[in-house]
């Protein structure tokens, strides 16, 4: 029997509303939260999951790859068309971190706040 249920994944960032907007364009869903609250924004995703964004003073993005510093975590995003998804995330402000090898089923990017995420072929 489980002791808990996963509620929400929260990403620290300098601008929660902007980063929620980026992921809303990538994943769909609705950005929710008090427009006057600059510290916390929820992204309600299709299927019922929530991805949240929390303001972090002095935010420093993870380094990737960095053998001397952990990336902490990353998101794996499943896509049907890797090239179309890549064009889309780059147009939204993502930066490629490890996307040169086109023979693999995954490519690594950083969101506008610097968090690594992967586009993964279904």
Identify whether residues 64 and 109 lie together within a single domain.
Answer: yes
The structural domain count of the chain equals 2
pLDDT (0 to 100) of residue 97: 95
CB 8 within 8 A of CB 42: yes
Containing domain of residue 12, as a range? 7-58
Low-confidence residues of the chain: pLDDT under 50: none
C-beta of residue 111 within 8 angstroms of C-beta of residue 59: no
Question: What pLDDT score does 88 carry?
Answer: 97
Q: Which long-range contacts (CB under 8 A, 24 or more apart) does 95-102 make?
A: 97/64, 97/65, 98/64, 98/65
pLDDT of residue 3: 60
Whether residue 1 is contained in a domain is answered as no
Residues 87 and 113 in one domain: yes
pTM, to two decimals = 0.87
The answer to whether residue 2 sits within a structural domain is no
Model pLDDT, residue 4:
65
Residue 29 is assigned to a structural domain of this protein: yes
Q: Are 74 and 111 in contact (CB under 8 A)?
A: no
């Amino acid at each position: 029997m489980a002791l808990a249920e996963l509620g929400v994944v929260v990403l620290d960032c300098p601008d929660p509303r902007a980063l929620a907007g980026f992921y809303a364009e990538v994943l769909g869903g609705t950005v929710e939260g008090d427009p006057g609250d600059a510290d916390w924004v929820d992204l309600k995703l299709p299927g019922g999951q929530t991805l949240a964004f929390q303001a972090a003073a002095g935010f420093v993005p993870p380094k990737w790859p960095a053998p001397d510093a952990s990336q902490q975590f990353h998101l794996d995003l499943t896509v049907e068309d890797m090239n179309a998804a890549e064009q889309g995330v780059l147009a939204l402000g993502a930066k490629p971190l490890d996307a040169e090898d086109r023979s693999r089923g995954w490519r690594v990017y950083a969101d506008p706040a610097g968090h690594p995420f992967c586009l993964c072929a279904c």
